[in-house]
Amino acid sequence: MKNIYIENNKDIDFVVDYIKTKGKEYKTKLNELIKTNTIDDAFKVHITVDHREMEKLLNVCKINKLKPIFIHLQNGNNPQQLMTSSSHVGTFPEIVEQMKIFADLQFKDLNIIRLKIKSSASHKGVPEENVDKLFWSQKSNYFEFRYKIYVSSKSQLGRLNALCIQQNLCLAFNAFETKSTYE
């Protein structure tokens, strides 16, 4: 470390970045050698594409019997997200490979933004302790919680939206599903 510090004009930021980069490299190598968190159960898979490619995506969904979803976020960085939804059974590593191959074949004319694989928190193999996710990439492996809330008035929707903003939560709806008159 001392040599790296001296060779880079005593730039502490460089040293910190170097340590983080090496840490990520070693985590990846260790994860390949010691497989952790093999989840064997049912999964939901979402393939997100450029929201301007709706017609192409709807055609791919029809051919492959996938559910199309067009998410509109009330707040957030990506206000419109166009994606598919499908269910699969297997192990987490196998599902990843199957979906990469499927996406390469069936979505070759679409700009794929993200492949998201969801599992229930109660499935065997899902990490319960921080040590269980030691080798996970924080950028690509994370937990989130979603909940459907039905509102009966415009004022309820306004209060819900204000609460979401206050708590740094996202409020969203699927434009392909029947909306209430209050959205």
77, pLDDT greater than 50 = yes
pLDDT band at 183 (very low <50, low <70, confident <90, very high): very low
Cα gap 93→99, rounded to integer Å: 10
182, pLDDT greater than 60 = no
Q: Are 91 and 123 in contact (CB under 8 A)?
A: no
Cα gap 32→35, rounded to integer Å: 6
Q: The whole model's pTM is what?
A: 0.66
Cβ burial of 61 (10 Å; 0-12, 13-18, 19+) is buried
Measure the CA angle with vertex 116, ends 42 and 172; round to 5°: 105
Q: What is the pLDDT of residues 26-51, one digit of tens each?
A: 766 665 555 556 787 888 999 999 99
pLDDT at 108: 92
Residue of 40, 37, 72 lying closest to 170 (CA atoms)? 72
Cα gap 110→60, rounded to integer Å: 10
Looking at residue 28, its amino acid is T
Largest CA distance in the chain: 65
pLDDT at 106: 92
76, pLDDT greater than 80 = no
Q: Are 132 and 153 in contact (CB under 8 A)?
A: no
